[in-house]
């Protein structure tokens, strides 16, 4: 592998460019017209404008992106997260054009991209899955029958769903009838696919996920868990590793489930198994993300494994640097907050604008992954993530205190950010105690 085309934008585009540089691999970046002043465009070795601001014209435009790889002579493409990262047609287009897709094969991606199908595959591998429909639910009548079987509350989910969209919770027949139709049209609009499935809705669960790495020599390891329960609209805001809910025994059990699932799939790349953890410690597979995740950083901090460079090395046919589970060691604690240009007091409304003053915090244990700079104009066309702030410490309390120190040093002027919200969360008695569930933000009143 000599040159990677970075098929994304924002902080993850920079993260990919940095990993490539660490490996001595050249980079070419694509960008849309409104992103011409973005840092990923400045940091890449070469750049290609692929189209207008609308994602369909640029970051979702498969023919243009493949052409950009050909023009720049890139022999590999990294899709990042979001956009085309979990689109099997894109992986297939790379395969057809002899370009290495940095991720799993299009076939495996297709299986996991259909969330109803993914659950079937995991059930066959004896991974515990959330009780619910056996695949796609065709109509409201069928939905009512399943709800009667599993018991309310239930959640209707889009088979093609992602980013927390296309989900509806129902607590009775009436809510299910309306929720089903709403989820159907929401999913059609967001994903061009209206297939739904149903599962039991767990009331106060944790979202716990397991990071895995699998190479093409049959080595599969897990890098322990990430706690991602602090969410708004089913999207993560704060993540940490390890989780206060997981002891060595449960970690081994959940890690084993993820490794078994990856082996069953013949998975090759970095990937994440997302689980719901109930209050009684039972856990259920929800979905697999066949890409790098936003919150991979906290795992990097506590394992010392560079997940991005490993993902690239795997795609290049190299074996894992640490191929055996017993050599994976956890040290310390890391917390990440996603700082968004949003007004969290107004239902997290995105607030794009110009960053007219900026000061980044620093010091022991602080990491920032970001594409913003003083004078940067945030385009309104994409998501509102400005940066990821990660605090590492020898234990959870040190990492929490360092995070608060960094939040205090931060200066961002020009747009509202979620920094005040994170101060509130990190000083909340329940957070300090590690008593978390997916309703944390809702319970704060936001
Ligand atoms: P992670 O699992 O990495 O935490 P998120 O669910 O927060 O991922 O999504 C990562 C990013 O990708 C977010 O910016 C989100 O808006 C975007 N995203 C996720 N799924 C989709 C999708 N199906 N289509 C478009 N964007 C998506
Ligand atoms: P996406 O593909 O949008 O990431 P997920 O299936 O991963 O969707 O679910 C997103 C979030 O929704 C989870 O992190 C969790 O907070 C919540 N959720 C999903 N399914 C359930 C469930 N069965 N019970 C309770 N909460 C759920
Ligand atoms: Mg998910």
Catalytic residue among 15, 226, 291, 313: 291
Which residue has the CA at smallest separation from atom 12 of ligand 1?
Answer: 82
Output the CA 206–ligand 2 centroid distance in Å.
Answer: 10
Residue 137 sits in the same domain as residue 75: no
For the segment 180-213, what is each residue's pLDDT rounded down to a tens digit? 999 999 999 999 999 999 999 999 999 999 999 9
Stretch 421-426: mean pLDDT: 98
Q: Is residue 344 part of a domain?
A: yes
Q: What is the pLDDT of residue 175?
A: 98
For the segment 297-338, what is each residue's pLDDT rounded down to a tens digit? 999 999 999 999 999 999 999 999 999 999 999 999 999 999
Q: Is residue 409 part of a domain?
A: yes
Going by C-beta distance under 8 Å and a sequence separation of 6 or more, which residues neighbour residue 289? Answer: 86, 271, 272, 274
Q: Is residue 115 part of a domain?
A: no
Residue 292 sits in the same domain as residue 392: yes
Peptide bond connecting 153 to the previous residue in cis, omega within 30 degrees of 0: yes
Residue 90 sits in the same domain as residue 159: no
Which residue has the CA at smallest separation from atom 13 of ligand 2?
Answer: 234
Mean pLDDT of the chain: 97
Q: Is residue 166 very low, low, confident or very high in pLDDT (cuts 50, 70, 90)?
A: confident
Task: Specify the residue for token string 């300090």.
Answer: 432
Q: What is the pLDDT of residue 432?
A: 98
Q: What is the pLDDT of residue 365?
A: 98
Q: What is the pLDDT of residue 164?
A: 86
Q: Is residue 111 part of a domain?
A: no
Output the CA 173–ligand 1 centroid distance in Å.
Answer: 31
Stretch 347-358: mean pLDDT: 97
For the segment 106-132, what is each residue's pLDDT rounded down to a tens digit? 999 999 999 999 999 999 999 999 999
Could you tell me the pTM of the whole model? 0.97
Atom number, ligand 1, closest to the C-alpha of residue 209: 2
| 291 catalytic per annotation | yes
Residue 349 sits in the same domain as residue 226: yes
Q: What is the pLDDT of residue 201?
A: 97
Direct distance between the N- and C-terminal alpha carbons of the chain, in angstroms, rounded to an integer? 46
Total structural domains within the chain: 3
Residue that is last in its domain, among 150, 180, 200: 200
Q: Is residue 18 part of a domain?
A: yes
Range of the domain at 279: 206-444
Q: What is the pLDDT of residue 139?
A: 97
Instruction: Decide: 163 in ligand 2 pocket, CB within 6 A.
Output: yes
Instruction: Decide: 295 in ligand 1 pocket, CB within 6 A.
Output: yes
Q: Is residue 221 part of a domain?
A: yes
Query: How far is CA 151 from each of CA 158, 171, 173, 202, rounded to the nearest angstrom?
Result: 20, 9, 11, 11
Stretch 210-235: mean pLDDT: 98
Q: Residue 163 pLDDT more than 90?
A: no
Query: How far is CA 147 from each of CA 171, 388, 438, rounded to the nearest angstrom?
Result: 9, 39, 22
For the segment 57-100, what is each residue's pLDDT rounded down to a tens digit? 999 999 999 999 999 999 999 999 999 999 999 999 999 999 99
What angle do the packed helices 248-265 and 115-124 form, to 10 degrees? 110
Residue that is last in its domain, among 173, 200, 227: 200
Q: Is residue 112 part of a domain?
A: no
Residue 210 sits in the same domain as residue 301: yes
Structure-block tokens of residue 368: 């920032």
Residue that is last in its domain, among 200, 230, 256: 200
Specify the CATH number for the domain of residue 139.
Answer: 3.30.1490.20
Residue 291 sits in the same domain as residue 436: yes
Share of the chain above pLDDT 70, in %: 100
Q: Is residue 163 part of a domain?
A: yes
Instruction: Decide: 294 in ligand 1 pocket, CB within 6 A.
Output: yes
Residue 147 sits in the same domain as residue 226: no
């Amino acid at each position: 592998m000599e040159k990677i085309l970075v098929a994304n934008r924002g902080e993850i585009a920079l993260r990919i460019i940095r990993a490539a540089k660490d490996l001595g691999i050249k980079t070419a970046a694509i960008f849309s017209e409104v992103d011409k002043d973005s840092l990923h465009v400045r940091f890449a070795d070469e750049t290609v404008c692929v189209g207008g601001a609308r994602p369909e014209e640029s970051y979702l435009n498969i023919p243009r992106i493949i052409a950009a790889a050909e023009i720049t002579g890139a022999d590999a493409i990294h899709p990042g997260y979001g956009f085309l990262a979990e689109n099997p047609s894109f992986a297939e287009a790379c395969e057809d054009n002899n370009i290495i897709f940095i991720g799993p094969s299009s076939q495996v991606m297709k299986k996991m991209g259909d969330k109803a199908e993914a659950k079937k595959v995991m059930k066959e591998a004896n991974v515990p899955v959330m009780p619910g429909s056996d695949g796609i639910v065709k109509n409201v009548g069928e939905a009512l029958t399943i709800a009667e079987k599993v018991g309310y509350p239930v959640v209707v989910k889009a088979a093609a769903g992602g980013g927390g969209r296309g989900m509806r919770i129902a607590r009775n027949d009436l809510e299910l009838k309306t929720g089903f139709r709403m989820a159907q049209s929401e999913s059609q609009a967001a994903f061009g696919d209206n297939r739904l499935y149903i599962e039991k809705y767990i009331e106060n669960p944790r979202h716990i996920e397991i990071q895995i790495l699998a190479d093409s020599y049959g080595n599969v390891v897990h890098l322990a868990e990430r706690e991602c329960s602090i969410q708004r609209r089913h999207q993560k805001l704060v993540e940490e590793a390890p989780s206060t809910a997981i002891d060595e025994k449960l970690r081994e059990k959940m890690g084993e489930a993820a490794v078994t699932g990856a082996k069953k799939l013949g998975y090759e790349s970095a990937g994440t198994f997302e689980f719901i953890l109930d209050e009684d410690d039972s856990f259920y597979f929800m979905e697999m993300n066949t890409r790098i995740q936003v919150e991979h950083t906290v795992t990097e901090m506590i394992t010392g494994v560079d997940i991005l460079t490993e993902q690239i090395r795997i795609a290049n046919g190299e074996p894992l640097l640490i191929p055996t589970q017993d050599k994976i060691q956890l040290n310390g604690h890391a917390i990440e907050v996603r700082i968004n240009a949003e007004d969290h007091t107004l239902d997290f409304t995105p607030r794009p604008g110009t960053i007219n003053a900026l000061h980044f915090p620093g010091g022991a244990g602080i990491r920032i992954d970001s594409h913003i700079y003083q004078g940067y104009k945030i385009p309104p066309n994409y998501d509102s993530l400005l940066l990821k702030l990660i605090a590492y410490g020898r234990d959870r309390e040190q990492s929490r205190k360092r995070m608060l120190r960094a939040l205090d040093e931060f200066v961002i002027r020009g747009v509202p950010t979620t920094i005040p919200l994170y101060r509130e969360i990190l000083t909340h008695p329940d957070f300090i105690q590690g008593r978390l569930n997916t309703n944390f933000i809702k319970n704060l009143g936001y």
